[in-house]
Structure 1
């Protein structure tokens, strides 16, 4: 179980490094849609912030509680709101918000006792282990990081910072 916890913590730590490396993008590169009908890098990174905050405030505190998990937010509304904010916020502010929220999440994950990562929870109609819940969130991260990587490669943009997370 310790191995799974370490892998999850490593991903969240690496995701911070990856997003910090995006400071190298110009404002134009940051705000350019990665594909027709898709978000910009700014919007992709910006949408992680309220979701991480949701996990921090509306999921983790209920893992070891007898209380039911609070209902999740309206996905489209939350994504639209975060997209709007990221489009209108400076790149540095969005990255800083992401890093701060993700660090808080990392701290909370680190505080989950190793022997509790196998505990099961019920979310709606789904029954899953805590580690499976976070593995699902990691897959979501990696999906978007790969989209960003593909966009950067198409544009011939090479980041100086080591951002190896995109290839995992």
Structure 2
């Protein structure tokens, strides 16, 4: 629903610009839309950066358990990144459909309702993936931390034996 609201606000703004109106989105809505967009890209960049760094700094021969956990964490981080990319690819489509709907010269109720259905369907698809993206990211981070901590824990246990 969050993306649907942003698409509606952006489409109304573009319609007002096309009509020559000087009305714009409120300052808060503009800041919110820009902030949300930046957060999406930051989170996606963070996901792939952590994945790349964890792969580059891996020591996969030290312990079988930690190696398996680390490999699972990589898969989880990759999944989070791919879900994030999928979400970002759908956002322009959502804005375009909403913009077309709002800028119809003679909008028929059929065209309007069809566009509304498409916006709701795409918005629910995009918003529905967010919990999976965040869940996969958090799982990947936790597994990565566990995998990197296991050799240290085993070392400490052996030290005190």
User: Do these two structures clear the TM 0.5 threshold for a shared fold by scoring above it?
Assistant: no
Query: When you count strand as a share of all residues, which structure comes out higher?
Result: 1
Greater share of residues in helix? 2
**TM category, shorter:** 0.3 to 0.5
Tell which structure's C-alpha radius of gyration is larger.
Answer: 2
What is the TM-score when the length of structure 1 is the normalising length?
Answer: 0.39
